[in-house]
Homo-oligomer: A and B are copies of this chain.
Amino acid sequence: MPISLGELATQFGCELIGDPDVLVGGVASLPNAGPDSLSFLAGAAYKKQLSSTKAAAVILSAGDADESPVAAILHDDPYACYARMAAVICPPPIYKPGVHASAVVASSATVADSAHLAANVVIDERSSVGENVYLGPGTVIGPDCIIGDDCRFIANVTLARSVEIGDRGVFHPGAVIGADGFGNAMTPDGWIKVPQLGGVRIGNDVEIGANTTVDCGALDDTIIEDGVRIDNLCMIGHNVHVGAHTAMAAMVGIAGSTVIGKRCMFAGRGGAVGHITVCDDVTVAAMTFLSKDVTTPGTYAASFPADDARSWSKQLARFRRLGKLIERVTKLEKGGESSSD
């Protein structure tokens, strides 16, 4: 919805250099922005795009204001400011309250009058849906779930059972929360299933990506604290505890019973083995997994970036001869003669 630069600046407490009456109706990147779009400059790599932008205005830090060819909105953190303003200019869709004729709501379930249940939504026994919640098409809410206010389930999300969610959560398609944890006991006759009896508790302001799975606990609950962000195709095992404001990029896996601290960040395909404790403020590099407790904040890594395959093949051979190399050095240290390896 169109809004004036002046209103935006006032609403978010920013200084505006330019005409406050200009209206913006959209947002765009610096090169693609037109005269009715707001843009932003965050990161030195994009600075070269600034001089030729045709945006109505650019959000940038005070130090860059002089170089803007158009109106400037000043903010110390232009990206965060952009995120907030974009949500005003391009708000998420608003849904009228109501339950689609094809939705199926169990008799013991409760749904707030202000909620919107789209086509083919199913809500099972004893579950409750809070105010202004949007449940997109095909979403299944199993038994004994509690969904707080203002949550959005885009489509085809599944809460298996016993999932409790706070307010303002966003759940993307294919996410599965509250499925049984992987608990099996080996016997002479093969595996027997260990009943998974805990649930999942999710705080406020949590976002869970498409096709991500968060399993229920074996006895106690799996816990995701406030403000956690989890991308697509991640796996949170049973009884994991993820601290507030931790973020996980796609394909991260956290094995059962591991405790992850607050404000941690996992790059794509990172992870952790089960039954460890990771302190606050730990960053894990791409394709790296933590194998033991982490007690010191910082960045952890153990991945090998791709190499030309021929070079890699040679390098692998060298790596495999390490034992031999060590022997050769030991021999040299002892004054031995040439080896033939």
Contact = CB atoms under 8 A, between A and B. Distances in A.
A170 B185 contact: no
Nearest to A294: B306
A90 interface: yes
A195 B87 contact: yes
A186 interface: yes
Interface stretch (A64-72, A108-116, A314-322): A314-322
A206 to B, nearest CB: 10
Interface string A172-193: 1110100110111111001111
A104 B80 contact: no
Contacts of A165: none
Contact of A82 (B194, B232, B251): B194
A227 interface: yes
A298 interface: yes
Number of copies of this kind of chain in the complex: 3
Contacts of A300: 306-309, 312
Interface in A71-107: 77, 79-80, 82-84, 86-87, 90, 92-93, 100, 102, 104
Contacts of A205: 190-191
B226 A190 contact: yes
Interface stretch (A2-10, A16-24, A127-135, A332-340): A332-340
Contacts of A291: 286, 305-306
A199 interface: no
A235 interface: yes
Contacts of A292: 305
A268 B255 contact: yes
Interface string A231-242: 111010100000
Specify the main secondary structure of chain A where it touches its partner. Answer: loop
Nearest to A339: B333
A61 interface: no
A190 B225 CA distance: 12
A253 B253 contact: no
A287 interface: yes
B220 A29 contact: yes
A213 interface: yes
Contacts of A215: 210, 232
B213 A211 contact: yes
A319 B311 CA distance: 13
Given A170-B193, A211-B211, A299-B310, 19 more contacts: A77-B185, A80-B192, A82-B185, A100-B104, A104-B119, A124-B137, A138-B158, A156-B158, A172-B179, A184-B247, A190-B245, A215-B232, A233-B253, A235-B250, A253-B269, A285-B312, A286-B291, A318-B326, A325-B325
9 contacts: A80-B192, A138-B138, A154-B158, A158-B173, A191-B227, A209-B213, A301-B312, A315-B322, A333-B339
